[in-house]
Amino acid sequence: MSEAPYRESVLDVTGTSVSPDVVTPTLVVTPRVVVNPAVVVTPTLVVNPTLVSLTDVVKTYPGPLTVLKDVSVEIGAGEEAAIVGPSGSGKTTMLSIMGILDRPTSGQVRIDGMDAGSLPEADRAQLRAEVIGFVFQQFFLLPTLSAVENVAEGMLYQGIRRHVRRQKALEALDRVGLSSRAHHLPGQLSGGEQQRVAIARAIAGGPRLLFADEPTGALDQTSGHMVVDYLLQIASEGTTVVVITHDQGLASRFSRQISLLDGQIVADSAVAEGDS
Looking at the Cβ atoms of 89 and 223, the one nearer to ligand ADP is 89
Minimum CB distance to ligand ADP, residue 109 (Å): 16
CB proximity list for 239: less than 8 A, separation 6 or greater: 78, 133, 203, 207, 208, 209, 210
Least distance CB 246 / Mg ion (angstroms): 8
Distance of CA 179 to the CA centre of its chain: 25
User: What residues does 108 pair with on adjacent strands?
Assistant: 55
Could you tell me the smallest distance in angstroms from the CB atom of residue 214 to Mg ion? 6
- Strands in the chain per DSSP E: 50-61, 65-76, 80-84, 106-111, 114-115, 132-135, 209-213, 240-245, 256-261, 264-268
Residues that bind ligand ADP (CB under 6 A): 61, 65, 67, 85, 87-93
Query: Helix, strand or coil for residue 55?
Result: strand
Q: Does 216 bind Mg ion (CB under 5 A)?
A: no
- Contact of residue 195 among ligand ADP, Mg ion, none (CB under 5-8 Å per partner type): none
If one asks whether residue 93 binds Mg ion (CB under 5 A), the answer comes out as: no
Q: How far is the CB of 40 from ligand ADP (least distance, A)?
A: 46
Q: Binding partner of residue 88 among Mg ion, ligand ADP, none, CB under 5 to 8 Å per kind?
A: ligand ADP
Contact residue for Mg ion among 53, 92, 150, 223 (CB under 5 A): 92
Which H/E stretch holds residue 193? helix 191-203
Does 257 sit near Mg ion (CB under 5 A)? no
Find the shortest distance in angstroms from Cβ 150 to ligand ADP: 25
Q: How many other CB atoms are there within 10 angstroms of residue 158's CB atom?
A: 16
Q: Which does 272 bind (CB under 5 to 8 A by kind): ligand ADP, Mg ion, none?
A: none
- Give the whole-angstrom CA distance, residue 160 versus residue 175: 20
- Which helix (H) or strand (E) segment holds residue 153: the answer is helix 147-153
Which among 269, 210, 213 has a CA at the least distance from the CA of 93?
Answer: 213
Pick the piece of the chain touching Mg ion (CB under 5 A) from 92-100, 106-114, 168-176, 190-198: 92-100
Of 20 and 86, nearer to ligand ADP (C-beta) is: 86
Residues that bind Mg ion (CB under 5 A): 91-92
